[in-house]
């Protein structure tokens, strides 16, 4: 029976309660709320908007003129130590982003931007992710973050606008990650850092990274080992990562960068709980998952190279990459064996002049999956083969854009892309006859933007689109369990407009704000059967409306504060779900951090307030709102010969709030809730080897 919508009053009371908590926090910690080390296209006090290239939009504009909602955060290799154990700690201060960290390794973080990607039961969907210029998103639109070591990221860009013009399939947003410590043309000294930390719930992590420059060239590397026993029963895991990148100058106008990255994982999967189980014992595991020995073992390797040349005719960039992934995934309904090979190339030429800029490009990628499902014999493949098929995905696209300045300080940018994605499947089992087949999807993706640049600020508006096909996993999970691709599942198309402002109205203040409206046709949504298997269907139209923003404030040279807020409403507009709210995304979210540096010490206090939100499409169950506080203390380090030793401590969820940090959307039997850890302590040491 459908839940009567009394949530308006309930939500108001929740919001009032949240406001009271924030007011109390403001009294205890004035100006509570800060970004990572810098927030949104960072502007230091007294500076104007920077003329840095925005990689997330393939160099079509710089931060001072880009007509899109974007945030750019930077960090420095010698920054004070901090315990960054997941991408949630990197992205939580970016406006418009919503990150769910399940507290275990089996599913990874769910990342959604303006509601795009909220459906993902595992991995990342609805947005493109790029690491050091190499795409992590597969041709089918799915992203796995296994190779991303969040502690070594030095630059993060989040493009919140629909961006299929630049990146094609699955580009409801773009996340560009960089570990580059040395900008082009800048020389640096050798660097070596080691970090060790330990904490509650068996958290142990060892990390080492460094930089070796030689002449105009440089090599960076990292390796880490992270283990945990977990807050919940049956959630222990181990995660190992390693990577290296080399940058070589070729003459005075060209350079090439080579990247390799590896991720190994072996983890248990505790599953989601009913509300009754969550209330009684949030640390328990779902019995069926523990009985089936559900979990994941995976190897993910990635390599790529990017060549760039600057000449009179423009700037040419050519990128190529390859991926190898092996996955053993015992679940309650099957043992999944996946062997994936993928790769792609892209080439783009752009030319920037004082008043005119233009660019053209093309890209293509291939994905080859050998998928086998067995019956799960308590964590090992059984004798019965349930699925045996080869899946191939090929994508191709071409785009062009042009920008000009009709008057001084004003820029107009327009572009168009055409792209196709083809899925092919070869059935090797024939249980229900030959289910081999193919699906072909294509789309035109236009974009139009305008920006007006003032003295230290930028006003912008744009129209953009996002084309998103179902992933191979979504296509093969047919509700009738017959194998092959689901013939009734189609892409979703998002068309959005936004108006925004970013800049520094004073020497001590930076503002980033945007209002957006987006229509999503053919919304892809999930539903689950009694065994815990996810299936997908299209659900007509959605409307996404909202406002998001961040304020960075420097009241004193030793103090920094940032407040981030998002208020949104995502609504189904057709068929049986008409008027319901999109599950899995809160309508209000607030985040803040205050930081002060004194005598080599840094004290940081941060808080997050989230309103309640629905956990299913029919809006009959909710995840309660919550407010969580964290605090940390670090020191810049004590010199001991050629080594600087920097200690740090942190307490998360200081008030030991019981809450569900993530939900399993539309789960069967009301098993929606994925409890977050209780109060946790972390402590560690960071060693810098001085040159």
pLDDT greater at residue 30 or residue 364: 364
Greatest mean pLDDT among 176-185, 345-354, 601-610 lies in: 601-610
| Cβ-Cβ contacts under 8 Å for 416 (sequence gap 6 or more) | 165, 399, 400, 401, 444, 445, 446, 447
Residue 26 has which token pair? 């403001």
Cα-only R_g, the chain: 24
Residue 60 banded pLDDT, cuts 50, 70, 90:
low
In whole angstroms, give the CA distance from residue 264 to residue 279: 34
Residue 224 banded pLDDT, cuts 50, 70, 90:
very high
Q: What is the mean pLDDT of the chain?
A: 87
List, in sequence order, every residue forming a beta bridge with 298; answer none if it has no partner.
Answer: 265, 327
pLDDT greater at residue 311 or residue 574: 311
The answer, yes or no, to whether residue 165 has pLDDT greater than 60, is: yes
In whole angstroms, give the CA distance from residue 688 to residue 691: 9
Max Cα–Cα distance, the chain, nearest Å: 73
Tens of pLDDT, residue by residue over 71-115, are: 888 887 667 777 888 899 889 889 999 999 888 999 888 999 999
Q: What's the whole-number mean pLDDT along residues 317-322?
A: 95
Residue 46 has what pLDDT? 38
Residue 188 has what pLDDT? 67
Tens of pLDDT, residue by residue over 409-420, are: 899 999 999 999
Is this prediction's pTM over 0.85? yes
Are the beta carbons of 34 and 93 closer than 8 angstroms? yes
Are the beta carbons of 205 and 85 closer than 8 angstroms? yes
In whole angstroms, give the CA distance from residue 38 to residue 50: 13
Residue 183 has what pLDDT? 54
Percentage above 90 pLDDT, the chain: 67
pLDDT greater at residue 604 or residue 432: 604
In whole angstroms, give the CA distance from residue 333 to residue 458: 52
Q: Please name which of 168, 289, 305, 193 lies closest in space to residue 248, comparing C-alpha atoms.
A: 305
Residue 10 banded pLDDT, cuts 50, 70, 90:
very low
- Please state which of the ranges 127-131, 350-354, 570-574, 614-618 shows the lowest mean pLDDT: 350-354
The answer, yes or no, to whether residue 539 has pLDDT greater than 70, is: yes
Q: What's the whole-number mean pLDDT along residues 402-409?
A: 90
Within a 10 A sphere around the Cβ of 76, how many other Cβ atoms?
Answer: 10
Residue 181 has what pLDDT? 63
Residue 104 has what pLDDT? 92
The answer, yes or no, to whether residue 40 has pLDDT greater than 70, is: no
**C-alpha torsion sign, points 174, 179, 183, 185:** negative
Tens of pLDDT, residue by residue over 485-504, are: 888 899 999 999 999 999 88
Residue 59 has what pLDDT? 60
Residue 187 has what pLDDT? 56
Find where tokens 């029976």 sit: 1
pLDDT greater at residue 20 or residue 526: 526
In whole angstroms, give the CA distance from residue 303 to residue 258: 8
Q: Please name which of 546, 550, 551, 552 lies closest in space to residue 498, comparing C-alpha atoms.
A: 546
Q: Please name which of 510, 634, 513, 506 lies closest in space to residue 561, comparing C-alpha atoms.
A: 510
The answer, yes or no, to whether residue 617 has pLDDT greater than 80, is: yes
The answer, yes or no, to whether residue 27 has pLDDT greater than 70, is: no
Residue 127 has what pLDDT? 93
Percentage above 70 pLDDT, the chain: 89
Residue 4 has what pLDDT? 34
List, in sequence order, every residue forming a beta bridge with 319; answer none if it has no partner.
Answer: 306, 346
Residue 16 has which token pair? 């009032």
Cα within 13 Å of Cα(293), Cβ side: 13
Tens of pLDDT, residue by residue over 339-367, are: 999 999 999 999 987 788 899 999 999 99
7-689 is a CATH 2.40.170.20 domain: yes
- Please state which of the ranges 34-48, 518-532, 585-599, 663-677 shows the lowest mean pLDDT: 34-48
In whole angstroms, give the CA distance from residue 373 to residue 328: 10
Tens of pLDDT, residue by residue over 585-594, are: 999 999 999 9
Q: What's the whole-number mean pLDDT along residues 540-565?
A: 94
| Cβ-Cβ contacts under 8 Å for 636 (sequence gap 6 or more) | 80, 600, 601, 602, 644, 646
**Ramachandran sector of residue 107 (left: φ over 0; alpha: ψ -120 to 50; beta: rest):** alpha
Q: What's the whole-number mean pLDDT along residues 451-472?
A: 93
Are the beta carbons of 237 and 103 closer than 8 angstroms? no
The answer, yes or no, to whether residue 569 has pLDDT greater than 90, is: yes
């Amino acid at each position: 029976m459908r839940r009567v919508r009394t949530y308006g009053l309930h939500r108001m009371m929740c919001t009032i309660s949240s406001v009271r908590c924030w007011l109390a926090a403001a009294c205890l910690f004035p100006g509570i709320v800060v970004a990572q080390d810098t927030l949104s296209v960072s502007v230091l006090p007294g500076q104007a908007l920077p003329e840095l290239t925005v990689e997330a939009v393939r160099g079509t504009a710089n931060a001072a003129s880009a007509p899109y909602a974007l945030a750019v955060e930077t960090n420095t290799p010698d920054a004070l130590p901090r315990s960054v154990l997941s991408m949630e700690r990197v992205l939580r201060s970016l406006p418009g982003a919503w990150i769910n960290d399940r507290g275990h390794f089996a599913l990874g973080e769910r990342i959604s931007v303006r509601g795009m990607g909220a459906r993902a039961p595992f991995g990342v969907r609805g947005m493109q992710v790029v690491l050091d210029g190499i795409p992590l998103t597969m041709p089918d639109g799915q992203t796995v973050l296994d190779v991303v070591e969040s502690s070594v990221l030095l630059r993060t860009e989040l493009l919140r606008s629909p961006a299929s013009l630049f990146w094609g399939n699955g580009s409801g947003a773009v996340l560009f990650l960089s570990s580059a410590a040395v900008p082009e043309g800048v020389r640096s000294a050798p660097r070596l850092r080691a970090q060790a930390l330990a904490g509650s719930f068996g958290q142990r992590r060892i990390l080492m990274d460094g930089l070796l420059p030689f002449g105009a060239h440089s090599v960076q590397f990292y390796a880490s080992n992270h283990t945990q026993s977990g807050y919940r029963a049956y959630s222990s895991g181990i995660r190992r990562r390693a990577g290296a990148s080399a940058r070589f100058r070729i003459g005075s106008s060209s350079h090439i960068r080579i990247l390799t990255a590896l991720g190994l994982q072996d983890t248990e999967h505790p599953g989601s709980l009913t509300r009754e189980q969550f209330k009684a014992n949030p640390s328990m595991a779902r019995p069926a998952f523990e009985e089936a020995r559900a979990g994941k073992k995976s190897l993910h390797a990635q390599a790529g190279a990017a060549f760039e040349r600057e000449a009179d005719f423009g700037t040419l960039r050519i990128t190529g990459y390859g991926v190898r992934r092996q996955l053993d995934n015992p679940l309650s309904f099957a043992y999944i064996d996946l062997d994936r090979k993928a790769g792609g190339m892209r080439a783009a030429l752009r030319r920037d002049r004082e008043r005119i800029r233009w660019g053209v490009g093309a890209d293509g990628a291939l994905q080859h999956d050998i998928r086998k499902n067995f019956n799960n014999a308590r964590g090992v493949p059984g004798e019965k083969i349930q699925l045996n098929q080869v899946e191939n995905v090929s994508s191709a696209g071409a785009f062009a854009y042009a920008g000009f300045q009709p008057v001084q300080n004003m820029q107009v940018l327009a572009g168009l892309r055409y792209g196709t994605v083809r899925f092919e499947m070869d059935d090797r089992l024939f249980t229900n006859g030959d289910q081999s087949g193919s699906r072909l999807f294509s789309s035109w993706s236009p974009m139009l933007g305008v920006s007006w640049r003032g003295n230290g600020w930028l006003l912008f508006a744009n129209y953009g689109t996002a084309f998103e096909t179902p992933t191979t996993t979504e296509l093969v999970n047919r509700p009738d369990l017959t194998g092959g691709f689901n013939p009734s599942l189609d892409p979703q198309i998002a068309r959005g407009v936004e108006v925004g402002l970013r800049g520094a109205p004073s020497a001590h203040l930076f503002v980033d704000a945007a209002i957006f409206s987006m229509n999503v046709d053919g919304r892809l949504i999930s539903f689950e059967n009694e065994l815990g298997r996810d299936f997908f269907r299209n659900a007509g139209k959605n409307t996404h409306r909202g406002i998001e923003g961040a304020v960075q404030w420097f009241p004193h040279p030793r103090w920094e504060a940032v407040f981030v807020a998002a208020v949104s409403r995502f609504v189904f507009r057709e068929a049986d779900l008409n008027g319901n709210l999109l599950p899995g995304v809160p309508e209000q979210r607030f985040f803040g951090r205050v930081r002060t540096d004194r005598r080599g010490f840094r004290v940081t206090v941060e808080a997050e307030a989230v309103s309640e939100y629905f956990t299913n499409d029919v809006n009959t169950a909710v995840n309660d709102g919550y407010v969580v506080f964290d605090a940390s203390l670090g020191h810049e380090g004590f010199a001991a010969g050629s080594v600087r030793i920097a200690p740090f401590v942190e307490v998360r969820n200081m008030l030991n709030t019981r809450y569900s940090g993530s939900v399993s959307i539309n789960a069967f039997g009301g098993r929606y809730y994925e409890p977050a850890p209780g109060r946790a302590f972390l402590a560690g040491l960071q060693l810098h080897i001085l040159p």
